[in-house]
Structure 1
Amino acid sequence: MKTVIYPGTFNPITNGHIDLVERAAKLFDKVVIAIAYSEKKQPMFSLEQRITLCEQALAHLDNIEVCGFSELLVDFARSKNSQFVLRGVRSMKDFEYEIQMADMNRAMSPGFETIFLTPADGLSYISSTLVREIAGMGGDVSNFVPANVLGALQQQLDQ
């Protein structure tokens, strides 16, 4: 069974993330959405909330698993019997960073492979950071996130 790990903070999960997971689910037997515990990024949602939002947004797929992680990615992948990681690349800046990470991961774990996918047309400009900023300023983000995330964003901002 070929399993790919798709790591990120998913703070929140966007339509761009969902597009990549749906496409990866066609390429791999299993896709593990690995949500990073990351206090340095000052998440809007707790790890548990991000896991729940991802599970809800991806419930239409039967070959995914959503879980949190806080260890090295190569160690997490090994614990899931995977040697593949999926990374979305929106720009050359993303690619430069991701190629460095791919090389470092392969140095730590020979045979560890990074699979790069670009966003579908019309999704390359979407980022969790921009979604949070727009929503925080009262903007409409309904075209950028699934309905469950939109509701969670509105609820979080109303507090």
Structure 2
Amino acid sequence: METIAVCSGSFDPVTLGHIDIIKRGSAVFDKVIVGVLNNINKQPLFTVEERLEMLKESTKDLNNVTIDSFDGLLIDYMKKVNANVILRGLRAVSDFEYEMQIASMNRKLDDSIETFFIMTNNEYSFLSSSIVKEVAKYKGNISGLVPPVVEEALKQKFS
């Protein structure tokens, strides 16, 4: 049986921490679908379409990774794409409590779907999309934190 993992998030924007988790997941699972959540409760800097394009560009060398978007419950999306694993990255202990709650709820909704956690590479443990946007807004150096396509897009947004 093919193991299909979904790595979901807002990816506003995608960081090298996200890319690290996606790459490492792609080495473990047959297929990884990066699912960009269209969260109507958030005011994103980038449109879903822009985030999809940046992710496609940033993962183009990963043959078993596809990029998609969804709204609603992750579990419903998992069923739609026949996925059986949720792929999540953990940066710090502070992430664990939140992620454990979400994983427990997802398990309650569908106990056939497992959640797989990967510890973020230490060099990205401080990194978040919010921090990157804040630094970029004030013209700080974000090279080495995001893929080149994202660095360029952030410079354009804040010029």
Q: TM-score, normalised by structure 2?
A: 0.97
The gaps in structure 2 that reach 5 residues or longer are: none
Matched-pair identity in %: 36
* Structure 1 residues 59-112: Cα deviation after superposition (integer angstroms, max 9, x where no partner): 011001101100200010111111210111111121000001001001011121
1:56-75 correspondence runs (5 A): 56-75=57-76
* 1:155 shift after superposition: 0.8
**Aligned partners of 1:33 and 1:15: how far apart in 2?**
14
**Aligned partners of 1:54 and 1:30: how far apart in 2?**
16
**Aligned partners of 2:84 and 2:59: how far apart in 1?**
23
| 4+ residue runs over 3 A deviation | none
**Aligned partners of 1:29 and 1:83: how far apart in 2?**
11
**Aligned partners of 2:104 and 2:35: how far apart in 1?**
20
* 1:39 shift after superposition: 3.4
* 1:11 shift after superposition: 0.4
Instruction: Show the counterpart of 1:116.
Output: 117
* Structure 1 residues 97-152: Cα deviation after superposition (integer angstroms, max 9, x where no partner): 00010010010111211000111121111100000011011111111001010001
Partner SS for 2:122: coil
Instruction: Show the counterpart of 2:154.
Output: 153
What root-mean-square deviation, in Å, do the aligned CA atoms of Structure 1 and Structure 2 show? 0.8
**Aligned partners of 1:99 and 1:24: how far apart in 2?**
19
Does residue 90 (structure 1) correspond to residue 91 (structure 2)? The answer is yes
Letter in 2 for 1:60: D
Letter in 1 for 2:140: G
**Aligned partners of 2:40 and 2:107: how far apart in 1?**
26
The gaps in structure 1 that reach 5 residues or longer are: none
* 1:41 shift after superposition: 2.4
Q: TM-score, normalised by structure 1?
A: 0.97
